[in-house]
Structure 1
Amino acid sequence: MGLGIRACQAGHRVAFATAAQWVTRLAEAHQVGRLSEELIRLGRIPLIIVDEVGYIPFEPKAANLFFQFISGRYERASVIVTSNKPFGRWGEVFGDDTVAAAMIDRLVHHAEVISLKGDSYRMRGRDLGRVPAANTGE
């Protein structure tokens, strides 16, 4: 999200949503026969951020829509993708190793891949191994 904010501060247009939200948006456009127009419109946004790829597995139709989305941006516009899954497990996410490999190929071709290790920043400073003290009511 920080990269998106910096891009906005530099005057770039940015769109941010979770993978599930992007797929819902694309599915709705597809249902009303406007998928092509929606992909063209999204292609005009210089930076799109897709958060949480891998948290929820994609149905085959959703995986196809998402592939079209990524493929349409390939070598045309920037995309940032966050995921809790290594690329080797994206076949599980998209339900098809071939679709996952084709998508990864497009994403990493001109990419800077950053792999973060360690605890989530959301969990920083929390002692999850400690049992909370009982409330005695006094």
Structure 2
Amino acid sequence: MNPLILDDLCERLQLTEVARLAGPRADSAAAAQDPYTAYLADLLQAEVDARQQRYVSSRVQMAHLPFRKPLDTFDFAFQPSIDERQIRELATLQWIDAAANILFLGPPGVGKSHLTVSLALQAIQARQSVYFVTIQDMIADLRRAWEDNRFPARLAVYTRPKLLCVDEVGYLPLERLDATLFFRLVSARYERGSMILTSNKSFSEWGEVFGDAVLATAILDRLLHHSTVVNIRGESYRLREKKRSQGRDGLLVPPASGTVHA
């Protein structure tokens, strides 16, 4: 076939990867004496892979993920309090189909956000809609919408995604109106869409976070009804990296002379 005709057909069908690889892969297939069906399957697989990569890249950007760390980059050995099998099971995303939630609890730096982003990436790869936001940014956005009489439309931004990830719950206390707006969000998503929340506060402290024990109980009642709670207890990854960096930079050095004491 005339290469120009093939290029035209690929352009019409938007097969950009097939057009790019058809010639080189044909030469390789001929040299290896591969059957035509294997050559065609190879080209189509390359097209599918390229489209998936473009899809994931665009959806990661739309989801506002703060970084891109897949689950395989998580150091489970450093956090023995985490059940790796449980996290791997969560990565199958069955809980999203059930509109259930995940709550990661623990002190700063233990990997809550990392696990959240990893599961969000897994969901994006499975072509689920995802949105990531800190609770401070989300509440500030919803409060502006409330004051401008456009709250329902703005709330839809956070209820529409199949998975909503809310980071840093509890790092700062919320005013009464803000806590009420968060309750409205949780109620709107209840049994309709999944959430992942990270918090450095135990549930017994959420009354202080939301400024009202009754309201906090109502929020937790909806979040925990269908949920998995993962408590992480361990050292901060950031502190570990700081210690390593200090060692590499020679900041932890023995005395210049004499005996080194332990």
Q: TM-score, normalised by structure 2?
A: 0.48
Select between 5-14 and 49-58 the one with higher mean Cα deviation: 5-14
- Matched letter for residue 20 of structure 1: Q
- Aligned with 2:138 (options 7, 22, 25): 22
Percentage of matched positions with identical amino acids: 43
Q: CA deviation at 1:5?
A: 1.3
**In the alignment, residue 124 of structure 2 is paired with which amino acid?**
C
Of the three residues 63, 66, 81, the one matched with 2:182 is 66
Larger Rg: 2
SS of equivalent to 2:165: strand
Unaligned runs of 5+ in 2: 1-116, 254-262
Aligned to 2:127: 11
The partner residue of 1:111 within 227, 231, 255 is: 227
- Specify the SS of the correspondent of 2:228: coil
Q: Partner of 1:46 in structure 2?
A: 162
Specify which structure has the higher proportion of helix. Answer: 2
Shifted more, 38-47 versus 11-20: the winner is 38-47
CA RMSD of aligned residues (A): 1.8
What is the TM-score with the length of structure 1 in the denominator?
0.88
Q: Secondary structure at the match of 1:79?
A: strand
Distance 2:121 2:137 in 1: 19
Q: How far, CA to CA, are the matches of 1:109 and 1:30 in structure 2?
A: 28
Which ranges in structure 1 are unaligned for 5 or more consecutive residues?
Answer: none
How many Å separate the matches in 2 of 1:105 and 1:122? 33
For residue 133 of structure 1, report the CA deviation from its aligned partner. 5.3
Q: Name the structure 2 match of 1:85.
A: 201
What is the distance in 1 between the residues matched to 2:252 and 2:235?
24
